[in-house]
Amino acid sequence: MRSLGPRMEIAVASTILAVGAAVVAAMHLTWPEPELPAMAYSVSNAEAGVADLQPFEISDISGAPVELTPGSEGVRLVRLSNPNAVDIVVLTLQAVPGQPLDEAHNRVPDCPTGVLTVAPMAEPVVIPPAGAVDVRMVVQIAHDVPAACKDSVFPLTYSGRAARG
């Protein structure tokens, strides 16, 4: 096999291996009872120099969506799991709200995604080999929420970046 050179090997490792992940969960902007969130998993880009590591996993373990009213704050509990035989450090974790959906899972065009914000993880966390760490993500809803947002579900896409511990 032909050598790609150090720069190309890092680029290939960054695109193939992911020591990071994305998970889609749901935040519910509602006043009545919420429904359970839909969950999905995909892999994001990796850090250079970690070609021998498996991606860490991000799981929203909060259970049902958080009910939010205008001006309120909620918390999502997120589990970060390390499938590797060495420590890893999760450097960043963030969540981005997607286009709100109604009860029939249709987009709600008159409800902007910006009414919901999620604060990124405050500081890096070390995850031991084959271990897991739970972190809390603070979710805030704007004070001036359009009426179209009532009973909407906001999908959240989590992503993060990690390095060898």
Per-residue pLDDT of 16-32, as tens digits, reads 333 333 444 444 443 33
State whether residue 159 is helix, strand or coil. Answer: strand
Residue 127 class from Cβ within 10 Å (0-12 exposed, 13-18 middle, 19+ buried)? buried
Q: What is the CA radius of gyration of the chain?
A: 18
Number of helices (H) and strands (E) in the chain: give both, helices first: 1, 10
Per-residue pLDDT of 101-160, as tens digits, reads 888 889 999 999 899 999 999 999 999 999 999 999 999 999 999 999 988 888 889 999
> Apex CA 8: angle with CA 3 and CA 13, to 5°?
100
Per-residue pLDDT of 78-90, as tens digits, reads 999 999 999 999 9
Query: Residue ranges per domain, the chain?
Result: 6-164
